[in-house]
Structures are given as structure tokens and as C-alpha cells.
Structure 1
């Protein structure tokens, strides 16, 4: 049986067909992230439809990559440093080292896959924008259906597929919404009434889902990022209709939430959760830094076995936890060197936004999407080097999307789109 599977993937016609269908494989994966009845379908699709054939073709040197691309190089440096540093620094057992190595391999394949999938998709931004907004709409709707059917009216909303965690579900839906609205905004001259209805429905339902998830980080990112983009549009484009349109969506969303909770109950539920121990995590990790401030304690190290972990167990009772902050988590795992590489990755995208040939309005919008990613990472996740999880969808995906958007006028990128 295994030989048949291997033969199937190694047939030349199958490999050629896979390369041609990379954009479709990506879009199916994105769809599974919001409507798959079980998260293993989202993960399984990546492993079977992406990772396995990609590994075989990389091994056979049948895929050509632009290794001189600055973002690609920095991403590879981050992965290589995180892996080798952990092997040298961490005193973890081989099971944890094996897990860290697997996470590095999966992230490496993800970056390569996104570098192959996103350029041809950006050749049709109108279609991609509608698909992303549809995913935000379906993901929000599925989350609300699950919320009602499971009788979770007094609990926190979560979704299907990769959206099983309330915070990460909110983050993914918000990123899909932001990217989709940006792409359709660029094609605003050709938008139909159906497109406006899609934007209206996606915005309203996503806001409802975010409010009912009670995730403060994504909600703050929504208010800050959404207000920023609306202000940019209103001031630079005189798009007051859009401002009124968005305001109506937000008011309808708030009204729906109040029907479920009531204002006082909703506010009380938010306040009762306090900081969700995030301040305790951050203070413990920063006040009890790793033995090597430059190199960290290694990605394979179990935080519970560190001085910071002992302090967190004493103050919060948590035996298993992560930093819930990308920068604090990277500092604990990889030290100041790792933080420096991470900032270089983010800075490269930021520099690309400022140097691209575009109007200031478009540049400001892209800056808003970049800032949204950073804000989401301030209260969730702890590393970019991890297995197939929702974290990928609100970190690597929007960053690589932004990077390739800034390079749309690059002739080499045009040739990549044609080759796919």
C-alpha cells in the first residue's frame, strides 16, 4: 500500500499536475481552516497534499526557488538558527528535540509552499479578495452555529477547522477580513452589489464572532486597525459612504451580541477574566531570563523546567503554558539573537511597503495590515517556528502576502507567476 502511495507521488505527470494546481491546493487548505469539521483535516491536508509532494520534489530538485529573495533568506536564517541553537543550548530529552526539529521542518515547507502559491494568486486580486472574505464569512457563520448548537450561550465562541481556540479563531478571521477588504478596495471600480453585500456580511459576522469570543487582543486589534483603515479611507479618498457603511455593520453586530449577553453581562464576563495571567507570564519570563540572554534556553526546552516556569507555577498554578507574546517567547527560546532575526523579518516587510511603487493610500493600508499582525502577536503565540496550527494563518500567511504584494512590479515575480 505504501509503495503505491509513493509511486503515485513520484510519477512525473502527477508531480507536474501538482505544481500547476498549487494555487487551488492553497485555497482548499484555507477553506478547510474555517469549515473543516475537525482540525485534523486542516493539518492532514497540509501534510498529505502539500508537505509530502513538496518534500519529494525538493529532494529531486524539481522546484526552482529564488534563494536571493531577502525575506526568504531571513526566514531560512530564523528557522536554521532556531533549530541549531536549540540542539546546542537545550538540555531537553530527544523526544522534545525531535518535536522541535519537526516543527522547523514543517515551517520550512510552509514558507516554501506560500512562496509558490501566493504569486500566481496575486495575479487575480479581485478573485482572491472575494475568496478570503467568503472564508471570513463562512468561518464566522460556522462559529456562530457551533456556539448555538452546543449551548454555549454563556461561554466563549470558537470555530471549526483550525479555529478551535477562541483567541486564534478571532485572529485568523480578522486577518482574512483585513486581506480580503484590502484586495477588493483596490478593485473598487468593478465591485458589484453582490461584492458590497459580501463585504457587509463578512464585516458584520466577523465582528459578532470576535465580540462573542471575548478575546480582548483581537478585539483591540479590530478597533485599532479597523479605525485606522477607515480613517485613512475617509481622509484620503473622501469615502464617507464607506465610513457610514462600516459604522452600520458595527452597530448591527453590537446589537446582535447584546441580544445574547446584555451590556452588563458582557462587560462583566470580559472583566472577570482579568489579564488571563498574561502579565504574570511576561513578568516571570522577563524577570527570570534564560541562562544565556543572547541565545536563550533553546526551543526544545520545557518552560515548566525553567526558573520562570517554577515562578509561574507558584503564582498561577499553570504547569503547561507559553509566553502569549511572540517577542517575549522568542527571547525565552532564542535570546536576543532570535529577537533580532525576528525583527529583521518584520522590518523587511515594513521596508518593502515603504519602497514599493504605490499611492500613499495603498501604502498606508498595507501598513495597517502589517500593524494588525504585530498587534495579534502581542497577546498570543510565542514563536513562528511551530507545527501546522492556526498561528501560521495570522503570522506567516499575511507577512508573505504583504511581501509579495510589495514586489508585484518586480519582473522576476511576473516570471514566477507565469511559470506556475
Structure 2
């Protein structure tokens, strides 16, 4: 019993971290600089809500490391970090080795935590990104209004919260500008498109008021990359918009930008290259201090170029895995460009690469603005790669279906299920099924994770877990905002029908025994099917399967006793089900459940049956 309690406690801890702490930690990582007056709070919140919980989750479930360490991006980062740590042997750093070793560890936890979040709580990713983008938008609007009402002496906006440097602020504004730009390019809802367009305009205005030219170059590169990924009508509009935006920027803000004159970057790069030439192969060592005076009268500690910073610290040996990280990240985005999340992540990475051409230097740091340029996009791409490889990312992508192709698809279809608003399930001419999901209020969970996508993703994950599930043929979005999943139905009859038509009591006992095993397998694999009843279970030659899998959650661990009991209570609402399962064949249900489930779960089921009989 003691070991069982320990295992249960470990599962609940892992679930709490994956389902709740990591989404909260990612939100504060992305938005803390806008919300709080001190940047140290960003570090503390990241450590407390993301990095340390991820480490605990990996200690509780070491098997999660296996897919992580098979991902090329993670392996390249580990190699890069190892080279950097080895270089401490000849580094001129003033910090302790233990302090510096924590930095790559926290970045590794970013990769690992993002992977856990995407694998086990994918539906929370887009709401977290949207909430963070809205915080960035509305958190900076007061500073923008103040800027126009009372312009600062240097005519450069910094922003509110913990932001203290216009160039670093512009990196964050650019990051969220790319988010809104990708949303404008990928969303189909006109209301969300209008919101995204307005937000993009405001964020671009924020960038311009910082007077920084680096994010303008980075956004141009990112927009070109995005247009190449999409290659549709919106991509052509985007490229045309770039030309218009360039002309407008020169006309409206050209004087403010040009008045800044030279930023001494060419002089800085020349000086850094001279230092790199002294130790080109191994570099000067991780975190070696750098002091440059290009004629400004004060010293600078960064080479203002990420690649030069890598070369200075770890030389050509360290540059190769670093370039491999960037190259494989972009390759992943290009290879999976049909997936909207890959489009977003790789476009953010391209923005970071563009910004890194003229900014940055520290190759690994504590959480700060530079993480938005490289480590956050790379961690997201790595997590998406792992989720796709392990079956946690939907392989089917929703396609827009015009009215005429939709009519052709549904020609001669037979209505299988309908309600007062019209058909819900159609049997098409070829025997496949089309399940329709009507448009609901525009601001719901279905806006981020449509029910058709949930159906397809749950079917895919059930197959990954070893269950039988419908084969998905396509996902469609119609012009009226509704969606549909096209799938090949499973043969057989419902378990309720099978019990009704069973020739004998012994046949019903055999079916109930099989259902007990199946129910326990679902619970042990973390499958919580809210609408579970005998009319939603299919029987075909002794094989059981679920019907209508959109209304389902698949948790990282086996279900808690409370969720199991909730499933049982739902089945008791149906009089026939209650009679067959909890009265006539209760012993067979319990026996079958005991073959797969833990002793505590079986004891809870037995008590539930006794209460039901009473």
C-alpha cells in the first residue's frame, strides 16, 4: 500500500506540474517584464514556476528524458553548453563556475519544460501566448500615450514595467509583433483578424518610437520568411505591405531614426574580430569579460552580434553546434510549414536571427530579453518536433473548404445524427463519416482548439496508447465558421445494443468482463471520457472502442480515484447501464477491472458498486 501511495503522489505531482505550473511559468516568462517593476521577479518566477518544477517532473518521471534526448536541437544545445562549460578552464570570467553552470541548466529546463507542456497540455499553449501578447499590448499602451503627450529628451520610448533600455524593449515589441503578424496570416475568423491587425499596428508603432533600427531589419527578414512559408494570397499582400511600410517609415520616422547617426557597430565588430583572431579555434572562454571603446568615451561589454559573441567565447568549435541549432530550427519550420505552430515558432526564430545580427553577445544568460530572440523560439521548435514524433501533435491540418467543394463532399450523404439546428453526423457516399461542429461564441476554448481538431488529436493519441480509434481522413473549416472531421468509422454495434441482443446471461457476463478490462485500461492510461456510457462504446468481434472522442481528455498519468468515480457516476445515470453493470453483472465488471487497475482503484470501484446496489 505504501508503494502505491508513493506512486499515486508522484503521478499527481507530475500532472500538477505539466498541466498547471508550466503554463503559468511560461506566461510569466513572457509577460513578467511588462507586469512587474523589477526584472529580478522574472527570474524568480521562472525558477519557481518553470525551471525547478520541470526538474522535479524529470526526477519523478525520468522516462520523459528519453524523447527529449533524441531531439537534434536538444543534443546540439547540450553539445554547445558542454563546450562552453569546458572553456571555463581558460576563461577570464569573474563569476564562479557553479553560478555559470546554472545558466545552461536553466536553458535546458526551458527545452524540457516546453516539451512537457506541448506533449501534455498542448491546448494551453495558444491561450498562454495570446494572454502574454495582450499583456504586452495593454501593458505598454500607457507608456506610448505618455510618449506622445510628453516626449522624452532623446525621443526614444522605453516602456513600462521592468523595461529600462529602448533597444532591449524593442526586441520584446518585435517578438510580439511577429506573434500578431503570424496570427493575421493564419487565422480565418474576421473578428480575430481585425483584433490582430490593430494589435500589430500598435506593436509596430512601439518599435518605431524606440528609435531602434535592429528590430526593423529583423522584422523584415521574418516577414519574408513567413511569406515564403505561406505562399498564398496573404503572403503576396504581406510582401506588398513591406514595401509600403518601408516607404511610410522613411517618410514618418526617417528623421528620428537617421538622427541617431552611426552606432559604431562596424568599429565594434572590427575590434572584436581582432580579439577573436588571437584565439580563433577555442575562444577566450565562456563569460570572459569584454571591454570595448570604439570612440564613444565609455566602454561596451557586448560585441553587438550573437555570432561574434559565440566566436569570442568558445571559438569555431562552439560556433558549429550554435549554427547547427539555428539551421535545424529553420529547417524544422520549413519542413512542417503546414502546421501553424511551426510557422509561428520558426518565424520567431528568424526574427531572433535577424535581431542577433546587430545585437547581443552573451551566449548564455539568465532569463532576459535575449531569450526572446533565440532560446524561447528554439525551445518551442524542439518541443513541437518531439510532440510530433511521439504522436502528441496532430498530423492532420485543418483546411479551408469553399462552398462548392463542400457541396461535392456531402453530395448524396445520409444523415446519421441531427438536432434542432440541423445535421451533426453524415454518412458520405463512400461510406466514410463527416462529423460537423457548429460555430459557437467566438471567444471560447474552441477558438484555440476546435472540436474537430480535438477529435482528430484524441483519435491519434488513442492509437499511440494502443487503443482502437477511427482513422482520420481530413479536417475542414467552412466559410460560416463551422468545422468538420472526416473519418473512417469503426465497424460494429454499441455495447448497449450488444447487451440488449445478447442470447444469454453468460454472453452478457462475457461482454461486461471485457468492458471492465477496457474501462480499467482507459483509466490507467489517463483517458478521461466525460460522456462515457454503453452507447458510446463500440463492440466489434470482442474488440472495444470509443465513439465521439472529441469530448475527452488524455492526462499524463493514470486517473485519480475521484475522476474514476465521476466516470462511474455518469454511467449510473442510464437505467439500463446501471442494471447491467452495477447489479446483474457487477462481479464480472469488478473482475475485469481488477485485471488492469491498481488495488486502490479496484477497492474504490467495489465500494461504489455496493453503494449503487444499496
Which TM-score applies when normalising by structure 1?
0.77
> Is 1:286 paired with 2:273?
yes
Q: Equivalent residues in 2 for 1:186-205 (5 A)?
A: 186=186, 188-189=187-188, 191-193=189-191, 195-205=192-202
Alignment of 1:12-51 (within 5 A): 16-21=15-20, 22-51=22-51
Alignment correspondent of 1:330: 310
State the distance in 1 between where 2:12 and 2:125 align.
Answer: 29
Q: Which of the numbers 260, 271, 278 marks the counterpart of 1:273?
A: 260
Aligned to 2:214: 217
Q: CA deviation at 1:125?
A: 6.7
Unaligned runs of 5+ in 1: 1-9, 305-311
The equivalent of 1:177 in structure 2 is 177
Cross-structure match for 1:114: 114
Query: Is 1:89–1:297's contact at 8 Å kept on the other side of the alignment?
Result: yes
Distance 1:154 1:12 in 2: 55
Spell out, residue by residue over 1:193-249, the C-alpha distance to the aligned partner (whole angstroms, 9 max, x if none). Answer: 2x123212211111110100011110122244336646876xx43249965996899
CA 1:172 to 1:318, structure 2 compared with 1: closer, same or farther past 3 Å? same
Residue number among 74, 77, 84 corresponding to 2:76 in the alignment: 74
Q: Shift of residue 75 of structure 1?
A: 1.2
Q: From the CA coordinates, give the structure whose radius of gyration is larger.
A: 2
Greater alpha carbon shift after TM alignment, 404-413 vs 377-386? 404-413
Match 2:377 to one of 388, 398, 405:
398
Uncovered stretches (5+) of structure 2, i.e. residues with no partner: 1-8, 394-460, 465-553, 558-614
Any conservation in 2 of the 1:221–1:376 contact (CA below 8 Å)?
Answer: yes
- In structure 2, how many angstroms separate the alpha carbons of the residues matched to 1:314 and 1:232? 40
Which stretch shows the higher mean deviation, 13-22 or 331-340?
13-22
The separation in 2 between residues aligned to 1:363 and 1:12, in whole angstroms, is 30
**Per-residue Cα deviation, 1:370-416 (whole angstroms, up to 9, x for no partner):** 43221011111113411111111221112232344456643344469
CA distance in 2, matches of 1:71, 1:244: 30
The residue number in structure 1 matching 2:168 is 168
Cross-structure match for 1:102: 102
Tell me if the contact between 1:57 and 1:63 (Cα under 8 Å) persists in the aligned partners: no
Partner of 2:353: 374
Q: Which has the higher contact order (CA 8 A, sep 6+)?
A: 1
- Alpha-carbon shift at residue 303 of structure 1 (Å): 1.5
* Segment of structure 1 superposing worse, 395-404 or 150-159: 150-159
- What SS class does the counterpart of residue 313 from structure 1 fall into? coil
CA distance in 2, matches of 1:362, 1:389: 23
SS at match of 1:288: helix
- Alignment match of 1:411 (pick from 370, 390, 401): 390
Q: Give the whole-Å Cα distance in 1 for the aligned partners of 2:120 and 2:262.
A: 42
Which residue does the alignment assign to 1:308? none
Distance 1:196 1:356 in 2: 23
- Mapped to 1, the partners of 2:227 and 2:69 lie a distance apart of 37
Residue 309 (structure 1) aligns with: none
Quote the Cα distance in structure 2 between the aligned partners of 1:366 and 1:418: 25
Distance in 2 between the 1:101 and 1:243 partners? 43
Find the aligned partners of 1:125 and 1:92 in 2 and give their Cα distance.
38
More helix by share: 1
Q: Contact (CA 8 Å) 1:217, 1:376: kept in 2 or not? A: yes
Q: Give the distance between the partners of 1:355 and 1:241, measured in 2 at CA.
A: 21
Aligned to 1:6: none
* Deviations 1:26-64 (CA, angstroms, capped at 9, x unpaired): 123323233323322222211222233334454566672
Residues 1:232 and 1:108: Cα distance change in structure 2 (over 3 Å) = closer
Between 44-53 and 328-337, the greater mean CA deviation after superposition? 44-53
Could you tell me how far apart the structure 2 residues matched to 1:148 and 1:268 are?
16
Per mean C-alpha deviation after superposition, the further-off stretch among 121-130 and 201-210 is 121-130
Between Structure 1 and Structure 2, which shows a larger proportion of strand residues? 2
Distance 2:301 2:168 in 1: 15
Relative to structure 2, which stretch is displaced further, 283-292 or 204-213?
Answer: 283-292
Relative to structure 2, which stretch is displaced further, 367-376 or 143-152? 143-152
